[in-house]
Amino acid sequence: MLRVAINGCAGMIVCTALASPPAKPPAVESVRPCRLAVFVNDPDPAGLNLRREPGSEGQIVNTVVDGDAMLDVTGSRGKWLRVERVRGADGTVQFEGEAWAFGPLTAVRAKRTVALHAAAQQTSSTTATMPAEQIGAVQACDAMWVRVRHGKSSGWMAPDAHCGNAVTDCV
């Protein structure tokens, strides 16, 4: 508040600044529920880190060093996959609980030559094809669909088109 005297009259001038409304916190992307298996495709010999929350700053709760391990995925947020269990090729449980893995360091294999779709639905347009037995780096999941990057192409693979086991063809 500022007090001033004009022509001998005392008065007060109140100044208010036009302020921007408070900034909204960044929206947290919701988790897309899904149910599928993926395998480790991390070039780091130390293994794939599983984290308490999605993001590279999340606390590491486990590391998967078995390159043949399968991760049971229950959701995705951005490029992060929510993992509920890790199983070895022999079925032995190596980790159980909730953790997050960076999707591009995991993969699925095409069971046959498959179409990659623009969206997670059969009726969506085809963005590319992926040859049989080729590996796609996982980008996201939705229900039983998985979004992969294969070479310079990316798209959604239908539920019956991918295999999340590194040592078998899932047939």
pLDDT of residue 35: 96
What is the domain extent for residue 142? 108-163
Who contacts 117 (Cβ-Cβ below 8 Å, separation ≥6)? 124, 125, 126, 127, 155, 156, 157, 158
Confidence of residue 28 (pLDDT cuts 50, 70, 90): low
Q: Are residues 113 and 86 in the same domain?
A: no
pLDDT of residue 171: 64
pLDDT of residue 166: 83
User: Does residue 7 register a pLDDT over 60?
Assistant: no
Q: Are residues 114 and 146 in the same domain?
A: yes
Q: Assign residue 59 the CATH number of its domain.
A: 2.30.30
Q: Is the dihedral of CA 45, 152, 74, 28 positive or negative?
A: positive
- What is the DSSP track for 135-171? EEEEEEEEBTEEEEEETTEEEEEPTTTEE--SSS---
Q: Are residues 36 and 89 in the same domain?
A: yes
Q: Are residues 122 and 98 in the same domain?
A: no
Chain segment 134-143, per-residue pLDDT in tens = 999 999 999 9
pTM for the model stands at 0.81
Number of domains in the chain: 2
Q: Are residues 142 and 81 in the same domain?
A: no
- Structure-token pair, residue 125: 């347009």
Q: Are residues 54 and 97 in the same domain?
A: yes
Q: Are residues 54 and 91 in the same domain?
A: yes
